[in-house]
Amino acid sequence: MSAGFSRFSSLNWYLLVMSSKVLVNTQPSSSLARSCYFNMKQLVLYHNCCPLMNCKARNLFFPWLLCFFLLVISPSCSDTDTLAQGQELKDGDHLFSASGIFRLGFFKPGHANTSYLGIWHNTNNEKAVWVANRDTPIFGNSGTLRVDDHGNLKLSYSEGDSIVLYSVQAASNTSAILLDTGNFVLRELNPDGSIKQELWQSFNSPSDTLLPNMKLGIDKKSGLSWSLTSWISDEVPALGSFTLGMDPNGRNQMAIWWRGNIYWNSGPWENSLVKIFGKFDDYRFSYISNENETYFTYAVSKDITIFPRLTLNEKGEILVFLPDSMIPQVSCSTSAPSLRAGCVEQKLPKCRSPQDKFVYKMGLMSTEGFAFGKSDNLSLSDCRALCLKNCSCVAYTSTNDDGTGCEIWSKDSSFTEQYRKELRSIFIIDTKIRIWWIWMIIVCGGASTFPLLFSVCYVIWRKKKEEANRSEKMKQAMLLRELGGNAMSYTLTGKLKKRWRDQKAGPELQIFSYESISDATDNFSTANKLGEGGFGPVYKGKLLDGQEIAIKRLSRSSGQGLVEFKNEAILIAKLQHTNLVRILGFCIQGGEKILIYEYMPNKSLDFFLFDSSRKNLLNWKKRLGIIEGIGQGLVYLHKYSRLRVIHRDLKASNILLDKEMNPKISDFGMARIFGLNGSEEKTNRVVGTLGYMSPEYAMKGIVSFKTDVFSFGVILLEIVSGKKNISRSVSEHSLLIEYAWQLWNEGRALEIVDSTMDEPCHPDEALRCIHAGLLCVQEHAADRPTMSEVVSMLSKENVRLPAPKQPAFIDAGEEVPECTDDKLNNCSINDVTISEIDVR
């Protein structure tokens, strides 16, 4: 039976070889046929390389015979290697090179819903060897590649401007073709179909992979540089932090740069080519240098049975692909001397050692780390380097599931190892190697070495103290990085000392020491306490130079934390308006988190408005000025500031008054930044104060600029009436806006005006304020005006206001729960911000 199978297999191989020879000059038309054709040729080559009786490939005869029949009988297909002028290649379509070796189309890396145009090997399911739109992903499946009527090669998609790969003023009869080399070429053709000129090719814009006959170097005439740039992660093709190319300093060598700094160099070409790549028999490397160009390239033998390529990966390694293996040929992150040849030593701070290792573990950290912004465009290698260069950093990880972004932790955070699917993998520094000598001294010395043991303990204590100080400096540096501006250190050592930090130009903030703040407030005495909110207590203070300040100290029991602290510091530092409170600086020391503001001598609006003995100090003219100032501040936040901010916690207690009773909006801990094109978002974390929150926000978690408009409407009615929105003192109603609506419908709207004012209001102005306030508190956000429209309504008497509809929160039989002392954990009225409530 074995002999029979041998004879049958030999006959099969003979037929297969003869069939493939017949097909050598045949160009298959369908994608399936092309794939079969290419794999059949590869299989024949593989068969020729191994003995007939011992080669496992002989058992694959029947699948390949099926491919042969499909090849013969397959009908004409739309798949082609050419995209003609006026044609489109949509998401899901492909171009195949003539022999089916390469294909071009749209793909989605990882689990993202973003598409890229790429080229990859037709029988290799690994990542693309070339990507067109690396830093401009296309959302969804709307991508289209086309050669337009003018000969331009461009990518189009439903949401956004076209991505132009090549632009020409006018070229008729152009087409793009995918070659068997993997090169995608845009050509201008003569009327007879011959090539007139090549306009553009993908080989001139490499990604992270060098294919045979591609160039890596410099075109001296055009100034074009051929170089590879790594992906930012294994799943994201965006430009990474490593670049491989020719050394531009005139030295005939290759180099890898890491964010602009030399990371590795090959050495002179004559010796380095043989040393680095000479051991690969199937690769023939060469170095070409003449008056026109200088470049490095390679070719492969015709009978090579694998898909040859050189790749620069996201770790900065050069990979060479061999049959069934992927060999790192350059790797500066390994300890193998053969792979590290040419690596440039990376400078580390004195607190670090080259032997410091990070261990990959699954679990969670005890505190929130510092996450770098998206604009930093950091890879995991960048994150490791940032952690190593910071003496206080003990752990790092990527912030996104696709391996991008960076979050680091300082030494005040501990790690708990757990194996749960939803937890992240974190790289923890292994300190066992660094402290083994301490334990050796303790064990070996015994009781006879007590003085030495005492010295060691003192050194450890001193080191921990220094590490704690470094941790504090790290926190300050992290916050300074987010603030993005100059900072002035404000310390107190017997006299005032100021020291400038060399940072980027921007808002000027002071870093206050805890000692200076404690001294300014007489150790936070109750006599200097101005009040207390959701963040914590607020104190009045005076610096040594006589400047009065307001000090907001985060309470340890507060529901707000470092996120809200940074949010407020960063926002107020970057916002500049006469009706926004001005921040002077901050303090982070130990468990203390403190914000320092300009001092407002007249405290907050509710201090006057809701106190029977002080509200008469607010005459009508001052109330109108306060309304106008709050409105102008909100218009700036919503429309004119560079951040476009929704406050989310606007209320009378967050409106501060200066010595001229001008209003200043404060407390941005709950604020939310919107993009330039954003209109609304949904959040599961609802923050704010009952009575001021819009219904769609309080009940559905939908936040928009109209959320602040609703709060402003409530404050406007409170200023006019002198009464709180939620109060038992508003007639028989629970809500001021409900009472105002009833009076409006009955034609008695002016009865809501505060009667305790020393001078009467102007009736037309009061009616316009009430009218605008009711428009602001409409139940549906779409019915509310924008803040720009509200300011226009209040300032222009000739502007005709639309009739208001029934406001929100009015329902027969519905009562707003009264907040008593035993319910303050679930309810807040004016004074205390709710950090988080559940959405109904």
615-627 mean pLDDT: 93
Distances (CA, A) of 723 to 271, 612, 727: 87, 10, 8
Which has more confidence, 470 or 804? 804
* Strands (E) located in 658-701: 663-665, 672-673, 680-682, 686-688
15-26 mean pLDDT: 43
Q: Is the pLDDT of residue 236 over 50?
A: yes
583-604 mean pLDDT: 85
The size of the chain, in residues, is 840
Distances (CA, A) of 26 to 119, 121, 302: 23, 20, 19
Q: Give the C-alpha separation, 109 to 556, whole Å.
A: 44
613-622 mean pLDDT: 90
- Highest mean pLDDT (candidates 433-447, 548-562, 686-700): 686-700
760-783 mean pLDDT: 93
Which has more confidence, 104 or 455? 104
Residues 299, 284: contact at Cβ < 8 Å?
yes
Helix (H, G, I), strand (E, B) or coil at 702: strand
Helix (H, G, I), strand (E, B) or coil at 516: helix
Instruction: Please give the pLDDT value at position 193.
Output: 86
pLDDT confidence band for 476 (50 / 70 / 90): low
Give the tokens for residue 390. Answer: 């910071």
Instruction: Please give the pLDDT value at position 289.
Output: 85
CA angle centred on 474, ends 473 and 479, rounded to 5°: 100
> Closest Cα to residue 715, out of 669, 635, 780, 649?
649
Residues 241, 270: contact at Cβ < 8 Å?
no
Q: Give the C-alpha separation, 166 to 770, whole Å.
A: 60
DSSP 78-129: S-BSEEETT-EEEBTBEEE-TTSSEEEEEE--TT-SEEEEEEEETT--S--S
CA angle centred on 15, ends 9 and 16, rounded to 5°: 85
- Which of 377-391, 587-601, 672-686 is least confident? 672-686
Q: Give the C-alpha separation, 360 to 423, whole Å.
A: 13
Sheet holding 216-219, edge to edge: 225-226, 216-219, 293-300, 283-289
Residues 266, 272: contact at Cβ < 8 Å?
yes
Instruction: Please give the pLDDT value at position 201.
Output: 94
Give the tokens for residue 501. Answer: 């930090």
> Closest Cα to residue 177, out of 162, 198, 206, 152?
198
pLDDT confidence band for 407 (50 / 70 / 90): very high
| Helix intervals (H) in 667-732 | 695-700, 705-721
Percent of the chain with pLDDT over 90: 32
> Closest Cα to residue 12, out of 54, 38, 44, 39?
44
Give the tokens for residue 829. Answer: 């009225």
- 66-76 pLDDT, tens digit each: 444 444 443 33
- Highest mean pLDDT (candidates 244-248, 291-295, 471-475, 480-484): 291-295
What is the DSSP pairing of strand 655-657 with strand 82-84? unpaired
824-832 mean pLDDT: 37
For residue 478, the number of C-alpha atoms closer than 13 Å in the C-beta half-sphere is 27
302-314 mean pLDDT: 84
Instruction: Please give the pLDDT value at position 839.
Output: 32
Instruction: Please give the pLDDT value at position 479.
Output: 56
Residues 614, 654: contact at Cβ < 8 Å?
no
Q: Give the C-alpha separation, 815 to 557, whole Å.
A: 31
- Highest mean pLDDT (candidates 297-301, 302-306, 462-466): 297-301
Q: How many CB atoms lie within 10 A of CB 204?
A: 17
Residues 364, 423: contact at Cβ < 8 Å?
yes
> Closest Cα to residue 710, out of 697, 722, 719?
697
- Which of 351-360, 403-412, 783-792, 811-820 is least confident? 811-820
Residues 32, 70: contact at Cβ < 8 Å?
yes
pLDDT confidence band for 588 (50 / 70 / 90): confident
Q: Is the pLDDT of residue 642 over 80?
A: no
- For 34-56, the three-class secondary structure string (H helix, E strand, C coil) is HHHHHHHHHHHHHHHCCCCCCCH
631-658 mean pLDDT: 90
Q: Give the C-alpha separation, 182 to 205, whole Å.
A: 13
Give the tokens for residue 460. Answer: 């450890």
Instruction: Please give the pLDDT value at position 273.
Output: 62
Instruction: Please give the pLDDT value at position 324.
Output: 64
pLDDT confidence band for 275 (50 / 70 / 90): low
Buried b (16+ CB within 10 A) or exposed e, 635-667: bbbbeebeebbbbbbbbbbbbbbeeebbbbbbb
151-157 mean pLDDT: 91
pLDDT confidence band for 153 (50 / 70 / 90): very high
Place of tokens 């071009």: 104
Q: Is the pLDDT of residue 411 over 90?
A: no
Q: Is the pLDDT of residue 82 over 80?
A: yes
Give φ, ψ of 181 to 5 degrees.
Answer: -80, -10
Q: Please confirm, yes or no, whether 430 is among the known catalytic residues.
A: no
Give the tokens for residue 189. Answer: 């053709």
Residues 555, 561: contact at Cβ < 8 Å?
no
Q: What is the Cα gyration radius of the chain?
A: 36
Helix (H, G, I), strand (E, B) or coil at 760: coil
Which has more confidence, 103 or 322? 103
Distances (CA, A) of 554 to 518, 561, 584: 14, 8, 16
DSSP 533-588: -SS-EEEEEE-TTS-EEEEEE--TT-S--HHHHHHHHHHHHH---TTBPPEEEEEE
Per annotation, catalytic residue among 91, 382, 606, 649: 649
Q: How many CB atoms lie within 10 A of CB 196?
A: 15
Which has more confidence, 825 or 113? 113
Q: Give the C-alpha separation, 243 to 563, whole Å.
A: 36
Q: Is the pLDDT of residue 537 over 70?
A: yes
Strand partners, 147: 153
Residues 418, 364: contact at Cβ < 8 Å?
yes
Q: Give the C-alpha separation, 805 to 807, whole Å.
A: 6
Q: Is the pLDDT of residue 54 over 70?
A: no
- Which of 6-20, 316-330, 534-548, 679-693 is least confident? 6-20
- Highest mean pLDDT (candidates 76-80, 569-573, 681-685, 713-717): 713-717
Long-range contacts of 339-342 (CB under 8 A, 24+ apart): 341/275, 341/276, 342/264, 342/265, 342/266, 342/267, 342/272
One-letter amino acid at 353 equals: S
794-800 mean pLDDT: 83
Q: Is the pLDDT of residue 60 over 70?
A: no
Mean pLDDT across the chain: 77
- Highest mean pLDDT (candidates 64-68, 658-662, 676-680): 658-662
Residues 173, 152: contact at Cβ < 8 Å?
no
- Which of 32-46, 541-555, 703-717 is least confident? 32-46
Instruction: Please give the pLDDT value at position 805.
Output: 92
Helix (H, G, I), strand (E, B) or coil at 599: coil
Instruction: Please give the pLDDT value at position 91.
Output: 92
Angle at which helices 705-721 and 736-745 cross, to 10°? 70
- For 380-419, the three-class secondary structure string (H helix, E strand, C coil) is HHHHHHHHHCCCCEEEEECCCCCCCCCEEEECCCCEEECC
Instruction: Please give the pLDDT value at position 756.
Output: 86
Using left for φ > 0, alpha for ψ between -120 and 50, and beta otherwise, residue 722 falls in: left
446-473 mean pLDDT: 68
413-426 mean pLDDT: 81
Q: Give the C-alpha separation, 590 to 472, whole Å.
A: 7
478-492 mean pLDDT: 48
pLDDT confidence band for 56 (50 / 70 / 90): very low
- Which of 144-148, 581-585, 588-592, 662-666 is least confident? 588-592
Angle at which helices 61-73 and 31-48 cross, to 10°? 140
Q: Is the pLDDT of residue 113 over 60?
A: yes
- Highest mean pLDDT (candidates 249-258, 260-269, 463-472, 625-634): 625-634
- 501-517 pLDDT, tens digit each: 323 333 456 888 888 89
Residues 521, 551: contact at Cβ < 8 Å?
yes
Give the tokens for residue 588. Answer: 């982070």
How far, in whole angstroms, is CA 618 from its chain's centroid? Answer: 47
| Helix intervals (H) in 447-507 | 450-483
Helix (H, G, I), strand (E, B) or coil at 686: strand
Q: Give the C-alpha separation, 531 to 602, whole Å.
A: 13
Q: Is the pLDDT of residue 732 over 70?
A: no
Q: Is the pLDDT of residue 637 over 50?
A: yes
